[in-house]
Amino acid sequence: MTILLAGSVILPIFFGAPWHPLRPSTLRRILEFAEIQPGETIVDLGSGDGRVLIAAAKDFGARGEGVEIDPIKVWFSRWLAKRAGVQDRVHIVRGNLFDFDFSQADVLFLYLTHQALDRLTKDRVDRLKPSARIVSFRFCLRGLQPDKIDPKKTLFLYRMNRGRNFDGLA
Ligand SMILES: C[S@@+](CC[C@H](N)C(=O)[O-])C[C@H]1O[C@@H](n2cnc3c(N)ncnc32)[C@H](O)[C@@H]1O
167 located within any domain: no
Q: Is the CB of 68 under 6 A from ligand 1?
A: yes
- Could you give the CA distance from residue 105 to residue 65 in angstroms, rounded to a whole number? 8
Identify whether 144 is part of a domain: yes
Q: What is the pLDDT of residue 37?
A: 96
pTM to 2 decimal places:
0.90
Structurally, how many domains does the chain consist of? Answer: 1
- Other beta carbons within 10 angstroms of residue 33's beta carbon come to 17
For residue 155, give Cα distances in angstroms to 12, 14, 89, 118, 126. 22, 24, 25, 17, 20
Residue 117 lies in a domain: yes
What pLDDT was estimated at residue 20? Answer: 83
State the distance from the centre of ligand 1 to the C-alpha of 21, rounded, in angstroms: 10
User: What is the CATH classification number for the domain harbouring 116?
Assistant: 3.40.50.150
Residue 105: per-residue pLDDT:
97
pLDDT along the chain (170 residues), means of 10: 58 67 95 97 98 98 98 97 98 96 96 93 80 96 93 95 56
pLDDT for res 161:
76
Residue ranges of E strands in the chain: 41-45, 63-68, 90-94, 107-110, 133-137, 148-149, 155-159
Is residue 105 included in any domain, yes or no?
A: yes
pLDDT of 127: 82
Q: Compute the Cα dihedral for 100, 87, 64, 150 and give only its sign.
A: negative
SS3 content of the chain, % helix, strand, coil (to 5): 40, 20, 45
Q: Rounded distance, CA 77 to CA 170, Å?
A: 32
Domain membership flag for residue 169? no
Domain housing 96: 2-162
Structure confidence at residue 170 (pLDDT): 47
**CA–CA distance, 94 with 55 (Å, rounded to integer):** 20
Strand pairing class (155-159; 148-149) = antiparallel
Cα 46 to middle of ligand 1, angstroms? 3
Quick check: CB of 51 below 6 Å from ligand 1? yes
Residue 170 included in any domain: no
| The pLDDT value given to residue 166 | 58
In this structure, is residue 155 part of a structural domain? yes
